[in-house]
Amino acid sequence: MVRTIFLPKAVKLILGVLTDGGHEAYAVGGCVRDSLRGAEPKDWDICSPAPPETAAALILAASSPETVKILPIGLKHGGVTVLMDGEAYEITTFRSDGPYSDHRRPDYVEWTDSLESDLSRRDFTVNTMAYNERRGLVDPFGGLNDLKDGLIRAVGSPSERFREDALRILRAMRFAAVLGFSIEAATEAAMGGRKALLAEISAERIGAELRGLLSAPSPSRVLDRHLDVVTVPIPEFAAYVRDPAAKALALACLESCPSDLVSRLAALFVFLGAEAAGRALRRLRFPTHDAGRVETLARDASEPLAVRMGGAADAAHVKRLLSRMGPERLRSALALKKAMATALGEDATPVEAASALLDAILEAGQCYSLASLAVDGNDLMSLGIPAGPEIGATLRMLLERVMDGDLPNERGALLGWAMGNRATT
């Protein structure tokens, strides 16, 4: 259902100031698209033929400096940012693009007085709509119909749009996943035809688009159709393209796993191996911490985490896992392990039993670490055990027996056992 566009007060003010100053001005792009969908825009962009310096001067003249600030962000590209009531509004000058030598950004831009010319340089029709209250919706490329039909369609020639900026290939996938849309057939064909150009795009930009794609409600549908495109920046996924059954397994795991980014990345790599995950994410310049978490999760989920009946031996197994991983890491591994079982068509009950034991152990405050042991090194030294490796070895022996249920986690019982069973080093 297409909704009416309601402009925020600050946007109305900016549009009014520019119009009163003799310049057209429109809300444009994603804010118009989202408003028509009934979604709250994340930000509001404005376009006008007014040069950035002129736009800034008009807004400053009509406002008090206490409420409005002008930030020269994007000035060299024909943009200026207005900070009003704590929100940022970017104003860009109508432009046309020069050639794209690097398949990412134009070599130069030229100012124009034509709104339609400015809109023609944008990526997809649903992002080319402009609006103001005087003229209404300006939609020269059929974006409204594509919005109603749930289509991502390139503006003009899809092949040319992707030749200009190859990152648009991944943007098409991201928009399709985030909005729940399909990609129009000619645009889809051009994505495959131009995918090799992704090799010329910076790893950081590709990584950002992939994060956006995987943060969508259900990215598996889009990846199922276009995983071959992603093999350009992530050649490890070529194994899935060669083996449709393996691809189906990975995507089923992705669909069933928790929706956080680390879990979704680990789900895509877990059947390829943790090393493949680490290698690919480092190549894409993911933050070291995030890449490490994905690699660790993929490795953890490949281990035998499940239990049988939830008895004492299984509780000891979960406590040992807790001792090594900690609660959150183990919880993430069990969730991914369950998704793997679901994808494989296996019984997930043993994994669920391990998760139930994990919850019970934590709720009861049971001992699973040296920090939660009822004695420490000072207690052992009071028994005459000398400081050094023997202390640590004895504490670990005590922890093992407590986790196995052979000893209660009580100071007297632990010290009594330690007196007759000191570790030898």
**Can you give the pLDDT at residue 313?**
81
Higher pLDDT, 25 or 309: 25
**Distance from chain centroid for Cα 59:** 36
**Can you give the pLDDT at residue 167?**
96
Binned at pLDDT 50, 70 and 90, residue 96 comes out as: confident
Long-range Cβ pairs for the range 83-88 (8 Å, 24+) = 84/10, 84/13, 84/14, 85/10, 87/8, 87/10, 87/43, 87/44, 88/43
Angle between helices 312-325 and 327-344 (to 10 degrees): 120
**pLDDT of 103 above 60:** no
**Can you give the pLDDT at residue 128?**
96
pTM for this structure? Answer: 0.88
Instruction: Taking residues 367-393, report their average pLDDT.
Output: 93
Instruction: Taking residues 368-376, report their average pLDDT.
Output: 95
Beta-strand relationship, 44-48 and 87-93: parallel
**Can you give the pLDDT at residue 106?**
59
* pLDDT tens string 138-193: 999 999 999 999 999 999 999 999 999 999 999 999 999 999 999 999 999 999 99
**pLDDT of 425 above 70:** no
* pLDDT tens string 6-39: 999 999 999 999 999 999 999 999 999 999 999 9
Instruction: Taking residues 77-92, report their average pLDDT.
Output: 85
* pLDDT tens string 322-360: 999 999 999 999 999 999 999 999 999 999 999 999 999
Binned at pLDDT 50, 70 and 90, residue 284 comes out as: very high
**Can you give the pLDDT at residue 357?**
94
Binned at pLDDT 50, 70 and 90, residue 107 comes out as: low
Give the residues across from 132 on adjacent strands: 136
**Can you give the pLDDT at residue 75?**
62
